[in-house]
Structure 1
C-alpha cells in the first residue's frame, strides 16, 4: 500500500529540511512526499528543490493552507494520506505503525490520529500529548466533543483516500479548515476519528507559529459548528445545539486566559519562557480532560 505524505509549505526555511527528512526517512518505504509551496519568499522553495527527485513539488501563489493541502491530495498517487505541517517532524516508524492500526479498521469510516511530543524552535522536547481515547463512546457523545475541538493534531491524522471521496476536501474559505473538515466528516458522514497509541510526530511550538497553531480554534469556531449542524435533521440538530450551548459556558474563562498568554512571552528570558510554555501545555491538557 502506497502512502502519500502531504506537506503545505509557506516561509518555513528554519525548519523545513528537518521536516522533509523526517518524511523521507520512514521505516516504511512505499511512500511519496508531496510538498506544496504556497508562494514562499524566504528560501523555502529553494530548500525543497534540493530534495528533488526524492519529493514532488507543487507551486502555488498564496492560496492558503487548505487549498495547498487539497492540491497535494489531488496530485497524490497513494491509497493513504498522511498530513504533515511544514515545521513538524515525523517519527521514523510513524507510517508503519499507523498502517498497522489501519489494518483493523474500515478504511472509509475512520480517520486515525495519535500522540505527539512538543518541541521548541531548537527541536528540544518540552512536553508531550497523549490523546484521550474516545473509541468506546457512542456516536452522540463522540460528536458532542467534536463540536468543541479536533480529535488529534492534524499532523497526526492518517486517512484513506476514500474518506475524501466520501466527505469532500478541506474547505478553502474558512480559516479553520481542519476543524470544519473534522466536523463535516463526523456529523454529516458518520466518519469516526479513531485514537491510536502511536507516537506520530514532534509538534513544534515557536514564536512565529504559536498563536496560529494553538489559538486559531477559538475565533469563529462556533459559527462553523452551527453551519455544519444545518445539514442535520431538525430533531438531531436541536440535541447538538443544546450540547454546544453547554460547551460555550464551560469555555469562556479558558479562552480569555489563552489569548492573554502569548503577549507575555516576548518579555521573558528564554529559560523562563520555556518553563511557561511547558506549564501552558499542561493547562491545555487539563482543559482537554474536562471534555470527558
Structure 2
C-alpha cells in the first residue's frame, strides 16, 4: 500500500498471561507495518508484564502501562485508558484472549481507504477454544448475506436489533478514531456490558459499513471470561432493553417491533427490574 496511516492495536489485559502471549504474537506478526500496540494492564500480579517485556525487547512499537490493579467497570475503564493513549488514525482493539489473522489490519485498512464514507469494517470471525481448536460457527458468527461491499449504517443498525451483534466483539472491528471520543458511550450514556454494540451504533451513525467474508480474527471461548459472571449477564439484559428503547425513540425500529421486543424481554427476564 502506498498510503499506510497508523493503526493502533489496543490490548486491555487482566490476569491472562498465557492467552495474552498468543494475542500479542498475532499483533506483532501483522503484515501491515505502520502499527502501534498499546497494552494497558489491570492485572493483580506481574505475570503479564513479564510476557510483554520479552516482546518489547524486540518490537519498538509496543507501549505498556501497568495500572496497579483493576481500574473498574468490568474492564471498561482499562479499555478507555488504552483508547485515550492511542495515536493512530484507525483503531482495532484486541481482547487479550483473542487472536488476529496475520493479514487482518492490511485487508481492513485497504477496505476503509478504498471506499468513501466508511466508518467501520468487520469480518467473519472464527471461534476457538482454550487450546486454539477452531469450533463451529454459532448464529452470531455466521456470515451475513451482503459481504465485501458498503452498506448503509442505518440498515446495519436495524439488523443488530433483529439479529443481535453479528458485527462482532471489539477484536473484530477496525474503525476511524475520529468518530468516537469514548468507547461505549452512546446517546449520553456510558454502557458497560454492551459496550461493543453501543460503539458500533455510534459508528454506524457516522458512515457506512463493510463486512469482509474472510476470517480475519478469532474469538476465544473459555471458562474465565467476564461473560460467564451472573452480574454481567444481568447487566447485558438491562442494557439491551435500554438500547432497544433508544432505537425506538430515534426511529431505527418501529412501534410494532418495539412492542414485540418488550413482550419477549419480559417473558425471558421476568425477575429483572429495569
TM-score greater than 0.5 by the shorter chain = yes
How much does 1:41 deviate? 3.2
> Which deviations, in whole Å up to 9, do the C-alpha atoms of 1:46-70 show, x marking residues without a partner?
2222222532112223224322222
Contact 1:67/1:170 (CA < 8 Å) preserved in 2?
Answer: no
Give the equivalent residue in structure 2 for 1:198.
214
Contact 2:245/2:258 (CA < 8 Å) preserved in 1?
Answer: no
Distance 1:203 1:139, change over 3 A: closer
Contact 2:122/2:210 (CA < 8 Å) preserved in 1?
Answer: yes
Give the equivalent residue in structure 1 for 2:90.
80
How much does 1:42 deviate? 6.9
How much does 1:209 deviate? 2.0
Give the equivalent residue in structure 1 for 2:100.
90
Q: How does 1:76-225 map to 2 (within 5 A)?
A: 76-106=86-116, 109-128=118-137, 129-134=141-146, 141-147=155-161, 149-154=164-169, 155-165=171-181, 168-171=182-185, 174-186=192-204, 189-209=205-225, 211-212=227-228, 216=233, 218-225=236-243
How much does 1:110 deviate? 2.0
- CA distance, structure 2, for counterparts of residue 195 and residue 222 of structure 1: 23
Task: Flag structure 2 segments of 5+ consecutive residues without an equivalent.
Answer: 270-274
- CA distance, structure 2, for counterparts of residue 184 and residue 10 of structure 1: 26
How much does 1:13 deviate? 1.9
More helix by share: 1
- CA distance, structure 1, for counterparts of residue 183 and residue 17 of structure 2: 27
- CA distance, structure 2, for counterparts of residue 19 and residue 39 of structure 1: 16
Distance 1:184 1:139, change over 3 A: closer
How much does 1:11 deviate? 1.2
Contact 1:80/1:160 (CA < 8 Å) preserved in 2?
Answer: yes
Distance 1:220 1:178, change over 3 A: same
How many residues are treated as equivalent by the alignment? 245
Structure 2 residue matching 1:103: 3-state secondary structure: helix
How much does 1:240 deviate? 3.6
Task: Flag structure 1 segments of 5+ consecutive residues without an equivalent.
Answer: 257-292
Structure 2 residue matching 1:220: 3-state secondary structure: helix
2:70 counterpart of 1:62: yes
- CA distance, structure 1, for counterparts of residue 256 and residue 202 of structure 2: 19
Q: Over aligned residues, Cα RMSD in angstroms?
A: 3.1
